[in-house]
Amino acid sequence: MENERGTVRSALAGGAGAAPGRARLPRSRRPVGEPVLPGSSSPWILMYHSVAVEKEDPYQLTVSPERFAEQIAWLHRRGRRGVSVRELMRARAHGRDDKLVGLTFDDGYADFARYAVPILQAYGFTATAYVVADLLGQENGWDTEGPRKKLLTVEEVTELASAGWEIGSHGLGHQALPGLPADVLAVQTRESRRLLEEVVGGPVTGFCYPYGAVDAPAAEAVCEAGYDYACAIAHSPLTGRFALPRCYVGDRDGAWRLRAKKGRHRLRDAVTGLKRNRRGRPEPKGGVGSGSERPGGERAMKERRP
Ligand SMILES: [Zn+2]
């Protein structure tokens, strides 16, 4: 039986299709809250955390490898291809994202390389792993109720990026951004990007808000730090390129639940669009909060508090 390290290496040896993105540095200065494309709906992006065998899972972050394989096979049967958000956004810019679905893995758990990568490779899928820049090789200490999970090491992140997997930033230390002073926001976004670009040897263009928590200053900071896009969770007045909504996927999600979640995504998208049209496009510094911060929002139910 291979050890974890060996499994990582063998899983990565075959490559993951797309070459790492090194073509250009992002120069995004789009208004925060701008729709991904004017008048269009948000792309469908799935949010995973850990793929592993876990006895206790108080935050419902873990999907078993068997269930994950079923979910990926379902997408494949439905004619969808799972891709990184980087690839999804590029395809969308050319109107070629019809059959694509974004696959994202928050926190950068080591089990991404061990369990998720081989399954994704079997279908020719790619994905994005959002890693916590200051905690590579450590554990998810922010999850106070446990269980402790190992995070990808510097070497593993380098290998994943070389093999074509998108590596995005999940901040410096898994700290929620709303409410932080401007200088701290700048450090969380810029410094995490700088550190990760050293690790991957190329541009890091994607950001993912810890806890999915975003407000206007946080989204502004991410935009100003030079990222091309950012992932949130819930639909909100900020929904757009710097607050992409995502669909939580858990271990209970079989085919019919995934179908229902896709329908719910479309519905929320339509409601968000209607509200936006009624209100007019939000100002970049309008002080609007995120739906993900509302008590009882999906993030509050599915994930741990800071
Ligand atoms: Zn996280």
Structure tokens at 179: 């409410």
Residue 105 belongs to what H/E stretch?
strand 100-107
Cα 223 to middle of ligand 1, angstroms: 19
Closest alpha carbon to 126 in 87, 172, 70? 87
Cis upstream peptide for 203 (omega within 30°): no
Query: For 167-187, what is the mean pLDDT?
Result: 97
Cα 158 to middle of ligand 1, angstroms: 20
Closest alpha carbon to 242 in 274, 278, 205? 205
Helix axes 154-162, 192-200, angle to 10 degrees: 70
User: In a 3-state reduction of DSSP, which class is residue 210?
Assistant: helix
Q: How far apart are CA 158 and CA 135, in angstroms?
A: 14
Write the DSSP assignment of 254-291 as a string of letters: -HHHHHHHHHHHHHHHHHHHHHHHHH-SPPTTS-PPPG
User: In a 3-state reduction of DSSP, which class is residue 15?
Assistant: coil
Structure tokens at 290: 């995120």
46 Cβ contact partners less than 8 Å away, ≥ 6 residues apart: 82, 101, 102, 103, 104, 246, 247, 249
Q: Which of 22-26, 79-83, 292-296, 297-301 has the highest mean pLDDT?
A: 79-83
Residue corresponding to tokens 């019809």 = 98
Cα 277 to middle of ligand 1, angstroms: 31
Q: Which of 51-55, 122-126, 278-282 has the highest mean pLDDT?
A: 122-126
User: In a 3-state reduction of DSSP, which class is residue 6?
Assistant: helix
Cα 106 to middle of ligand 1, angstroms: 5
Question: What is the C-alpha radius of gyration for the chain, rounded to an integer number of angstroms?
Answer: 18
Structure tokens at 234: 């819930």
Q: Is pLDDT at 202 greater than 50 in this prediction?
A: yes
C-alpha distances out from residue 258 to 24, 91, 117, 158, 247, Å: 35, 23, 21, 32, 9
Chain centroid to CA 192: 15
Cα 57 to middle of ligand 1, angstroms: 15
Residues within 5 Å of ion ligand 1, judged at the Cβ atom: 106-107
- Summarised one tens digit per residue, pLDDT across range 206-261 is 999 999 999 999 999 999 999 999 999 999 999 999 999 999 999 999 999 999 99
Write the DSSP assignment of 178-206 as a string of letters: TT--HHHHHIIIIIHHHHHHHHHTS---E
Calculate the average pLDDT of the chain.
83
The pLDDT of residue 117 is 98
